């Protein structure tokens, strides 16, 4: 097996793999947009896999819980508005939030417009 940098000509085969195995799970990934590095694994001139490291826009927020939930929610809205603007100006189409507080997660879903991605996030 050989790992090498992805080339535009690899996209056709990757689309075939996606159509057959992943179309129902996720949109076809753009391996050239916001990727630090993208590569494919090939054996005997057959593409086995493609992947890479993609940057994402993540909103990070700390709120002082000494203040009322209403005031913190208002401050959060200000931060999210600014974060959406910055993410959009830098070509990011999604803004991600990794939420540890169940109440705030519900608030972000019900009142702000975040959606559960259905994907379990793993970190290494």
User: Confidence band (pLDDT; 50, 70, 90) for 26?
Assistant: confident
User: Confidence band (pLDDT; 50, 70, 90) for 25?
Assistant: confident
Q: What is the pTM of this model?
A: 0.73
What secondary structure letter does DSSP report for 28?
A: P
51 has pLDDT over 80: yes
Residues in the chain: 124
Query: What are the angstrom distances between the C-alpha of 22 and each of 13, 16, 26, 37, 49?
Result: 13, 10, 6, 21, 13
Q: Give the pair of three-digit tokens for residue 6.
A: 């992805």
């Amino acid at each position: 097996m050989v790992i090498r940098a992805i080339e535009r000509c690899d996209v056709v085969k990757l689309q075939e793999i996606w159509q057959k195995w992943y179309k129902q799970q996720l949109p076809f990934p753009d391996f050239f947009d916001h990727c630090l590095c993208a590569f494919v694994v090939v054996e005997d001139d057959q593409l086995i896999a493609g992947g890479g490291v993609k940057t994402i826009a993540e909103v990070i927020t700390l709120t002082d819980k000494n203040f009322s939930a209403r005031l913190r929610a208002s401050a959060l809205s200000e931060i999210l508005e600014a974060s959406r603007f910055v993410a959009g100006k830098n070509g990011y189409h999604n803004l991600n939030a990794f939420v540890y507080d169940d109440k705030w997660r519900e608030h972000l879903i019900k009142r702000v417009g975040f959606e559960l991605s259905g994907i379990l996030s793993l970190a290494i």
